[in-house]
Amino acid sequence: MLDRATAGELPKKHHTILREPDGAIRYEHCITRDGFDGPYTIAYHMRRPHTAKQVHALESFAVPEAAPVRALRRRHYEAKRLEPGTTPLASRTPILHNRDVVVSTSKPTAADRVYFANGDGDDLHFVFRGSGMLRTMLGDIRYRAYDYVFVPRGIIHRFVPDEGEPHWMLTLECTGGVSIPKQWRNPIGQLRMDAPYCHRDFVRPSFGGPVDEGLRHVVVKRQGRFDGFDYDESPLDLVGWDGTVYPWAFPILAFQPRVSSVHLPPTWHGTFAAGGALICSFVPRPVDFHPEAIPCPYPHSSVDVDELIFYCDGNFTSRRGVGPGSISHHPAGIPHGPHPGAYENSIGAKATTELAVMLDCYLPLHPTPEALAIEDAAYHESFR
Ligand SMILES: [Fe+2]
């Protein structure tokens, strides 16, 4: 959650009357986190927000199930082999998962036909290819490639990709929520001067009042199942809102990378905190400047976490056989590191153009059947 934003009409004080010139009253809707103890947003609807009729859900996506434990190996999934198709919601394809996070990709070819609200977690999308508009009950956000797009749990929204270009998103569904790491906040919640980004880097919703697109159906996901709700009128009927719970976009290239005399661990690239996971951004940067530095990542045993990397663009000097759209999974329990020769060859390098999203998870990640179909079986042995 970010700093307080405000949009549209509000009464002077919360929980008091908001009435239109014609006498019609507006209905308050408090969206609260952590019970009533956490961040919140107060929205004002033209109509009571809790009157939708429950119906069969018109859209859904695959939900991962408990998976058998497999042999302990380094894994590589070639997401480029997944076929594009359908809408952002319906084409969401889970690849790896644990109790805290579901990692999916989607390659939609059309806009969402229904609204969606995720009751199971916050969705952090990374737009790998394409651009478009996220339409939400709190306003619209234009996004483009290399943006993180955050949709808080429970917020009604749909994606409208721009036509004429391939669209590809990586989605992290985080059941424990997504937040700014606490070390980047000062005591009043403002981003610190030494944080790797500033408030101005975040794109907030553009709000223009009620929206009626003719859509009445909202799909809600809760406990892994999908239920539909039909509204009599548009559910995007807000006249105003204020608060700290709202969607935003953040361009990964706005992340300010750290560089040291010698190699810094991934924690320095920590961008967002999730329950049970840390989300890191690797962006182009100069590399280590000690005269005897080895810029390539050292082999390491991060004994408590499973590591996932989504490779976007640039040169991945430490790895061979991976390319844009690759997803690597290096499990805890065995060490991992650079491919043969990469460690030695990095000496003297001045810069890297790598662009990648990394996830360190405390619970083991399991592949889905869709992941097994795109696995590069030779990956583990490629480090010998
Ligand atoms: Fe690693």
Specify the length of the chain in residues. 384
Bigger pLDDT: 110 vs 319: 110
From ligand 1's centre to the CA of 168, what distance in Å?
25
From ligand 1's centre to the CA of 40, what distance in Å?
36
* pLDDT tens figures, 361-378: 999 999 999 999 999 999
CB–CB of 57/228 below 8 Å?
yes
From ligand 1's centre to the CA of 300, what distance in Å?
7
Beta-bridge partner residues of 277: 274, 361
Residue 134: per-residue pLDDT = 98
User: What's the pLDDT band for 315 if we cut at 50, 70, 90?
Assistant: confident
Residue 27: per-residue pLDDT = 98
110, burial (CB in 10 Å: exposed 0-12, middle 13-18, buried 19+):
middle
CA nearest to 112, candidates 206, 203, 215, 205: 215
Rounded-to-integer distance, Cα 210 and Cα 26, Å: 12
From ligand 1's centre to the CA of 338, what distance in Å?
9
Residue 67: per-residue pLDDT = 78
Under DSSP, is residue 316 helix (H, G, I), strand (E, B) or coil?
Answer: coil
From ligand 1's centre to the CA of 13, what distance in Å?
50
User: What's the pLDDT band for 317 if we cut at 50, 70, 90?
Assistant: low
Cα atoms found within 13 Å of the Cα of residue 324, Cβ hemisphere only: 11
Rounded-to-integer distance, Cα 359 and Cα 314, Å: 19
Q: What mean pLDDT value characterizes the chain?
A: 96
The dihedral region occupied by 333, where left means phi > 0, alpha psi between -120 and 50, and beta the remainder, is: left
Count of H helices and E strands in the chain? 2, 27
Residue 376: per-residue pLDDT = 96
Residue 114: per-residue pLDDT = 98
Under DSSP, is residue 61 helix (H, G, I), strand (E, B) or coil?
Answer: coil
From ligand 1's centre to the CA of 330, what distance in Å?
7
* pLDDT tens figures, 217-229: 999 999 999 999 9
From ligand 1's centre to the CA of 202, what distance in Å?
28
From ligand 1's centre to the CA of 301, what distance in Å?
8
* pLDDT tens figures, 343-356: 999 999 999 999 99
Name the pTM for this structure.
0.97
* pLDDT tens figures, 261-285: 999 999 999 999 999 999 999 999 9
* pLDDT tens figures, 108-126: 999 999 999 999 999 999 9
From ligand 1's centre to the CA of 92, what distance in Å?
26
Mean pLDDT over residues 317-334, rounded? 89
Residue 315 to residues 261, 262, 322, 357, 360: CA-CA distances in angstroms? 21, 20, 10, 14, 21
Rounded-to-integer distance, Cα 288 and Cα 295, Å: 6
From ligand 1's centre to the CA of 74, what distance in Å?
11
CB–CB of 283/257 below 8 Å?
yes
- The two tokens of residue 27 are 């209905």
- One-letter amino acid of 213: E
From ligand 1's centre to the CA of 296, what distance in Å?
11
Residue 130: per-residue pLDDT = 98
- The two tokens of residue 287 are 């590399």
From ligand 1's centre to the CA of 331, what distance in Å?
9
Centre a 10 Å sphere on the Cβ of residue 334 and count the other Cβ atoms it contains.
12
Rounded-to-integer distance, Cα 112 and Cα 122, Å: 18
- The two tokens of residue 131 are 């651009």
Residue 83: per-residue pLDDT = 93
From ligand 1's centre to the CA of 12, what distance in Å?
51
263-272: burial string, b at 16+ Cβ within 10 Å, e else: beebeebbbb
From ligand 1's centre to the CA of 336, what distance in Å?
6
**Which residues have a beta carbon within 5 Å of ligand 1, which is an ion?**
307
From ligand 1's centre to the CA of 307, what distance in Å?
6
Residues 6+ apart with CB under 8 A from 374: 77, 78, 79, 81, 82
From ligand 1's centre to the CA of 184, what distance in Å?
23
Beta-bridge partner residues of 173: 102, 123
Residue 319: per-residue pLDDT = 73
Residue 35 to residues 32, 40, 156, 190, 364: CA-CA distances in angstroms? 6, 10, 19, 23, 28
Mean pLDDT over residues 128-133, rounded? 98
User: What's the pLDDT band for 321 if we cut at 50, 70, 90?
Assistant: confident
* pLDDT tens figures, 153-191: 999 999 999 998 899 999 999 999 999 999 999 999 999
Percent of the chain with pLDDT over 70: 99
Residue 290: per-residue pLDDT = 97
Under DSSP, is residue 156 helix (H, G, I), strand (E, B) or coil?
Answer: coil
CB–CB of 371/379 below 8 Å?
no
Residue 209 to residues 23, 27, 43, 247: CA-CA distances in angstroms? 18, 14, 11, 16
CA nearest to 246, candidates 94, 33, 15, 11: 33
* pLDDT tens figures, 36-81: 999 999 999 999 999 999 999 999 999 998 778 899 999 999 999 9
CB–CB of 203/250 below 8 Å?
yes
